[in-house]
Amino acid sequence: MCLEDFLSNLDRYLASLLSGTQPSREAPSIIKSTATFPSKGTSLVRRGKMVAPPLAIPFWQRLGWKSVRTPKSGVRAWRGPLSTRFGSVIAQVESPHPNAYKVYILNLPMHLRDHPCFAPKGSRYAMHLHGKARSLSQVILEAEKELEKAWNRRS
């Protein structure tokens, strides 16, 4: 269907709605046709209604992490919770350059402060990660796993 046909059908449909007359029971042809996004293959029509493709929300945002500003220029940083079955702590992840991440715990419980995974860095504790994560979401999952191990050893 070409753009002119679509606009013509849409004009007729909207005019019938504005005039108060009952629009024809036939939906505009754009709604009846099914188009797909070439890159995603997601259908625009689902059960007779037009829908948008699903939004890709990063995993770290779904976990409640937020981007924060740092005093160091060129360093990207995010802050959010690291959750385990024993409790949660607030952490900050910094990335001085792509694919390099440093994890800092801001409110580490007292009984974990002498654990070898954590090193004091001013008012926060640097966390040593054993895995090599390539994304922020992977870093968060790896940090939660290490925190769970540390907490488990102290319980």
CA dist 133 and 77 (Å) reads: 16
Cα separation, 154 vs 124, whole angstroms: 20
pLDDT tens digit sequence for 87-129: 899 999 998 888 889 999 998 999 898 889 899 999 899 998 8
pTM of the prediction? 0.61
